[in-house]
Amino acid sequence: MTLKAGQHALLLKDPMVVRADVLRMAGKDDEGGDDGDLSVVLDTKPKTKRPPLYKVLLLNDDYTPMEFVVLVLERFFGLNHAQAFEIMLTVHKKGVAVVGVFSHEIAETKVAQVMDFARKHQHPLQCTMEKE
């Protein structure tokens, strides 16, 4: 944190930092000089919480071709061919694999995109999400 001249930082017991700008009042004394009154302006910033994350899972089935699963991983999750192939093998061997971790809205969108794409190509591929 950088302070300008006339600024002071106070660290409170809780982890919130309060910035105090010390300002001179515009009031003047009788001789046209500064009467010396001070005012303090406090800025507080509340702590923001990170949104919960969700795992996107791909489930194995006996009918969806491995090449199609690789295509889905490359197309909707931005994986290169080697990464997509490795995750596809994990899905094939273990029955399920985490494809990525995203905010709720993004995870929901990716699940819908994968499911729609699989249906359009007449594959029973399943994609779900769960809270991390």
- What pLDDT, on a 0 to 100 scale, did the predictor assign at position 9? 52
If pLDDT is split at 50, 70 and 90, which confidence band does 1 have? low
Q: What is the C-alpha to C-alpha distance for residues 73 and 81, in angstroms, rounded to an integer?
A: 9
Per-residue model confidence as pLDDT tens digits over 82-120? 999 999 999 999 999 999 999 999 999 999 999 999 999
End-to-end C-alpha distance for the chain, whole angstroms: 33
Q: Residues 96, 58: contact at Cβ < 8 Å?
A: yes
pLDDT per residue as tens digits for the range 16-26 = 444 444 444 44
CA distance 120 to 123: 8
Confidence at residue 39, expressed as pLDDT on a 0 to 100 scale: 64
- Structural domains in the chain? 7-43 (no CATH), 53-131 (3.30.1390.10)
Nearest-CA neighbor of 60 among 85, 95, 99?
Answer: 95
For the cut 80, the answer to whether the pLDDT of residue 58 exceeds it is yes
Tell me how far CA of residue 114 lies from CA of 26, 69, 77, in angstroms: 64, 10, 10
Picking from 103, 104, 99, the residue whose alpha carbon sits closest to that of residue 84 is: 99
Average pLDDT, whole number, for the chain?
83
Average pLDDT over residues 9-18: 48
In this prediction, residues 37-63 reach a mean pLDDT of 87
Of the chain, the percentage scoring pLDDT greater than 70 comes to 69
Pick the more confident residue, 47 or 66: 66
Region of poorest pLDDT, from 24-38, 39-53, 73-87: 24-38
Separation of CA 83 from chain center: 23
Helices (H), 1-132: 66-77, 81-94, 104-120
